[in-house]
Amino acid sequence: MRISQTWWRWLFAVALAGALAAAACGGGSDSSPSRRQNPNEPTLVGAPSASAPNYPIEVRRSDGKTLTVGQAPKRIVSLSPGATEILYAIGAEGQIAAVDKQADYPDGAKNFPTKVDAFEPNVEAIAALQPDLVIVASDINGLVARLDSLNIPVYFADINTDIKTVDDVMTQINLLGRVTGHTDQATALLDTLGQRLRAVKDKVQGINQTTSPKVYHELDSTFFTASEGSFVGDLYRTLRARNIAGDGGGNPYPQMTQEAIIAANPDVIVLADEEFGVSIDSVKARPGWANIAAVKNNRIVAIDPDIVSRPGPRIVDALEQLGKAIYPERFQ
């Protein structure tokens, strides 16, 4: 059957139209204004604590500028999933006007009615929500400057440069607690987390870092890993484990060669790429990997990539899980 010229043109036109239509539909889902509540009504959930926080608060941003918070914000737009988790954990969820699309924990955030795109931020959509505080973790497309020019208060804590350790996360919890007027809850959270953190550090105390287990943390099926300079790398450092990616040559997320992985012979393999279909069995089946210690001794674990990379309260969960994977005899 010969396909005539007109059919080809039609097919091409359909493909083109399809692409354009898809692009048009994909872009505009976050422009609906908040349906949640009248901003002037008092919030009932997560009301600010009785003891008045010491406003105004001066906060230093990642770009060097200072943010002044005069009173507890009531319409927070959080473009950082980590900050979102913290807000819920300190009981400030009632002061949120919108969360970012990636937010999926806790359930309240996952099902939050108003979401904005943090990767392709739409400044107009954010401004339409009339926020009194926008939390930004990545300054994409000059977002911070544009929000500044609209006189919208922005708290910018760059996730690549300023939140890189467990301690940094604790600092964030403290800070967000003060800013939102939930210092009591924040302190309580910090106490609990601090206790668990100390417990973890106790368990790994005294481990010799030149002989501790070697870990390979896999980010995707083409062998991208997290080096010591990354957030995940800090978790391993806390656990005194040896990261086979070392300092990554300065790169926090380098790509390793299979040869180097096999030669490094990791004792534990941590998979953060299950969503890509990588499973413990598929790793075992990789040609050439059978003699790696971690494979031979069946010490491959999968971990939720969010808890190891999101700077929120769950990193302590991550530490505990990783600790259990690396030192099963020490973490019961």
Partner 1 sequence: MIGIERLRAAHASRRAEPAPLTWYALAPTIALAATGTVAVIVVAMCLGTTRISPATTLGVLGDHLLGVSAGSHSASADAIVWEIRAPRVLLAALVGATLAFAGAAYQAIFRNPLAEPYIMGVAAGASVGATLVIVSPLAITAGVLSPLPPAAFAGALIAVSLAYGLARVGTTVPSASLILSGVAVSSVGTSLVTYLMLAYNTRTLAILNWILGSFNTASWTKVAIASPYALVAFAVILPFGRVLNVLQLDETEARHLGVDVDRVRLIVLVAASLATAAAVAVSGLIGFVGLIVPHAVRLVWGPDYRRVLPLAAFCGASFLVLMDLIARSADATFELPIGVVTALIGAPCFLLLLRRQGRAIEVRP
Token pair 């287990």 is found at 213
Q: Three-class SS of residue 167?
A: helix
Distance of CA 215 to the CA centre of its chain: 21
- Per-residue binding letters, 171-210, with partner 1 (x by CB under 8 A): ----------------------------------------
Separation of alpha carbons 302 and 316, rounded Å: 17
Q: Is 108 in the site for partner 1 (CB under 8 A)?
A: no
Distance of CA 32 to the CA centre of its chain: 25
CB 50 within 8 A of CB 105: no
Q: Is 162 in the site for partner 1 (CB under 8 A)?
A: no
Q: Is 265 in the site for partner 1 (CB under 8 A)?
A: yes
Backbone φ, ψ for residue 270 (5° rounding): -110, 125
Distance of CA 240 to the CA centre of its chain: 22
Q: How far is the CB of 212 from partner 1 (least distance, A)?
A: 19
Q: How far is the CB of 287 from partner 1 (least distance, A)?
A: 4
Half-sphere exposure of 210 (CA within 13 A, CB side): 0
The span of 56-64, 103-111, 123-131, 248-256 binding partner 1 (CB under 8 A) equals: 248-256
Q: Is 23 in the site for partner 1 (CB under 8 A)?
A: yes
Alpha-carbon torsion 289, 294, 298, 303, what sign?
Answer: negative
Comparison of 148 and 306: residue with beta carbon closer to partner 1: 306
Q: Is 280 in the site for partner 1 (CB under 8 A)?
A: no
Beta-strand relationship, 66-69 and 57-60: antiparallel
Q: What six digits make up the tokens of 28?
A: 């505009």
Q: Is 14 in the site for partner 1 (CB under 8 A)?
A: no
Q: Is 55 in the site for partner 1 (CB under 8 A)?
A: no
Separation of alpha carbons 45 and 71, rounded Å: 18
Beta-bridged to residue 215, according to DSSP, are 243, 268
Q: How far is the CB of 251 from partner 1 (least distance, A)?
A: 7
Separation of alpha carbons 237 and 232, rounded Å: 9
Binder among 81, 181, 252, 254 for partner 1 (CB under 8 A): 254
The span of 12-20, 105-113, 154-162, 323-331 binding partner 1 (CB under 8 A) equals: 12-20
Q: Is 304 in the site for partner 1 (CB under 8 A)?
A: no
Binder among 106, 138, 168, 289 for partner 1 (CB under 8 A): 289
Binder among 56, 64, 206, 277 for partner 1 (CB under 8 A): 277
Write out the residues near partner 1 by the rule CB under 8 A. Answer: 3, 5, 7-9, 11-12, 15-16, 19, 22-23, 26, 102, 119-120, 220-224, 244-246, 248-249, 251, 254-260, 262-265, 276-279, 282, 285-291
